Chains A and B, each alone.
Chain A
Amino acid sequence: MRKLLNTLYVTSPNTYLSLDGENIVILKDEAEALRVPLHNLEGIIAFGYTGASPALMGACAMRNIALSFMKTSGKFLGRVVGEVKGNVTLRKTQYRLSEDEGESHKIAKSFILGKIYNARWVVERATRDHGARLDVDKLKGVCQTLANALKLVEKSQDLEQLRGFEGEAAAQYFRVLDDLILQQKDDFYFNSRNKRPPLDNVNAMLSFVYTLLAHDTAAALETVGLDPYVGFLHRDRPGRISLALDLMEELRAVYADRFVISLINKREVNDGGFTRMENGAVIMDDDTRKAILKAWQSRKQDEIRHPFLQEKMEWGLVPYAQAMLLARFIRGDLDGYPAFMWK
């Protein structure tokens, strides 16, 4: 497998990213704050009002380093994309499939099967690990519902039906997400998903982590030559990385949600790191963001065994492996797209 390189997260506002030879140099108040060789990097994510030199952008584009800009909230603003990789034939096939409702449905089905399977796994795993502290019957019930949802999804006939089943399954899963939070319950609770803006600490964290994951799936798709903007489940919308969001579905619960919950349960974040605005919107402070990024980076380095490829790899490479499998399916090497189904 490919080597997992680092992603550089630049969180301090009012910095400037510049290029010096083969290095990225971060300037703060015109003084050098950090210098990192580009060849160690896979991606750079800059938060807040950060500037970057055209020379650096060019160097990233040439080396296939994904350079993204986000608001401090984690909202995605834009990214620098180099020359399109890979062959046009692959992309054309992708576009053709995406315009075909039937074919789109088949692929979208895999994403959703993976999504529900993994959501169920997260719940099931909690009942096993913390059975004594949880309402096991309630959780088992949700597991059963999600297992049924898988059957319905398998039998679904079109995208609309698929979205319907997916919506219900997601609601069931989110209904118990709060149960999985076992520490700091007064400050961290989850009632429902809200994002514009996030209205509680958990939603603020989820939004932030989803953006990180979306950056990774988009970059992975780009690397294998697929167009991250043209999806199967998510339909085209200008500026939306639909395929990256498609690919993210199966990773949300098992990669992102579980990560957020473990940060809370391990007390790596606390209420002091969140600010509530007058309108109820919740904002994370810089230290919390840094703590999350640090944990995310180290999480990416954990080794797992890929269930389909049967190969050891780091968590951080999973989006890449899935993007590659998707490309393999699109170019006809596989009879379907094998979702990542965590065991």
Chain B
Amino acid sequence: MEYQEEDFLLLSGIQHFVFCKRQWALIHIEQQWQENLRTVEGGILHEKTHDNTIKEKRGDLIISRSMRIFSRTLGITGTCDVVEFHKSRDGVTLYGREGRYKPVPVEYKRGKPKQGNADVLQLCAQAMCLEEMLLCDTTEGYLYYGDPKHRLKVLLDEEIREQVKAICQEMHELYDRRYTPKVKPTKSCKACSLSELCLPKLCKNPSALAYMKKTISEIEVDK
């Protein structure tokens, strides 16, 4: 199946989705947060061709920054921080370049490696976009963490690819129904930047009607 451009979702949403589906829905469906999400998204969707201003070349390596990417089969769009093109015989030809190259996405993260595999999934989704756009294979990518500075090689195996596909499909299902999953408080909530909007505490007091009934019925008691 292929998605239309206007139905593309933001690739960066994968990390929200993995963190908490409700958080993703609040940001991406309800647009409750991120002042500029819509502007960014709009900009990406309306840019018909991706921006591949190649800035650096070091020997057999071409480094391209902020490359716009998308995948029609996953129905996502986003930006790669950095795509390295390694000269390689089993690579593909690039527009305006001699020789064959293999793309390797590199994603920069400011902090420490996170628990869970959100970063890996995001990187893998980027690689899958690149494959689809360049009609090539990717086998690996890198996650670069700022704290401490180090680069982590990530192998993009079948298992992780399946996960990316499943997540994208589920994101589209929720998006089509404009459905925001109900609160399920988890330990993520503590670290969630959206908790004040989400109100995970509502769970402690799940029934508004019961709260009102009880409050009113207590009037008699204190007389």
Chain B CB within 8 A of A310 CB: yes
A87 touches B30 (CB 8 A): yes
B30 touches A309 (CB 8 A): no
A324 touches B215 (CB 8 A): no
Residues of B within 8 A of A215 (CB): none
- Cα distance A308–B182 when bound, in Å? 18
Contact of A328 among B202, B215, B220 (CB under 8 A): B202
Most central of B29, B31, B182 by chain A CB within 10 Å: B31
Chain B CB within 8 A of A132 CB: no
A147 touches B219 (CB 8 A): yes
A341 touches B212 (CB 8 A): yes
Residues of A within 8 A of B211 (CB): 307-308, 338
Chain A CB within 8 A of B4 CB: no
Report the minimum CB–CB distance from A186 to chain B (whole Å).
34
B212 touches A328 (CB 8 A): no
Chain A CB within 8 A of B196 CB: yes
Contact of B196 among A2, A113, A333, A334 (CB under 8 A): A2
- Cα distance A217–B62 when bound, in Å? 55
A310 touches B205 (CB 8 A): yes
Contact of A337 among B29, B196, B208 (CB under 8 A): B208
**Secondary structure type dominating chain A contacts:** loop
Residues of A within 8 A of B31 (CB): 85-87
Residues of B within 8 A of A334 (CB): 202, 206-208
Chain B CB within 8 A of A90 CB: yes
Report the minimum CB–CB distance from A150 to chain B (whole Å).
5
Contact of B182 among A150, A333, A339 (CB under 8 A): A333
A310 touches B212 (CB 8 A): no
A308 touches B178 (CB 8 A): no
Report the minimum CB–CB distance from A173 to chain B (whole Å).
15
| Count: A-B pairs, CB below 8 Å | 79
0/1 string, A302-343, CB within 8 A of B gives 1: 000001111100000000000011001101011111110101
Chain B CB within 8 A of A225 CB: yes
Contact of B216 among A2, A86, A154, A329 (CB under 8 A): A154
- Cα distance A302–B14 when bound, in Å? 41
- Cα distance A308–B211 when bound, in Å? 7
Residues of A within 8 A of B209 (CB): 335-336
Residues of A within 8 A of B58 (CB): none
A-B pairs with beta carbons under 8 Å apart, 30 shown: A85-B31, A86-B32, A87-B29, A87-B31, A87-B32, A87-B178, A89-B178, A90-B30, A110-B208, A117-B216, A147-B219, A147-B220, A150-B219, A154-B216, A309-B202, A324-B199, A325-B199, A328-B202, A333-B182, A333-B183, A333-B199, A334-B206, A334-B207, A335-B207, A335-B208, A338-B208, A338-B211, A338-B212, A341-B216, A343-B215
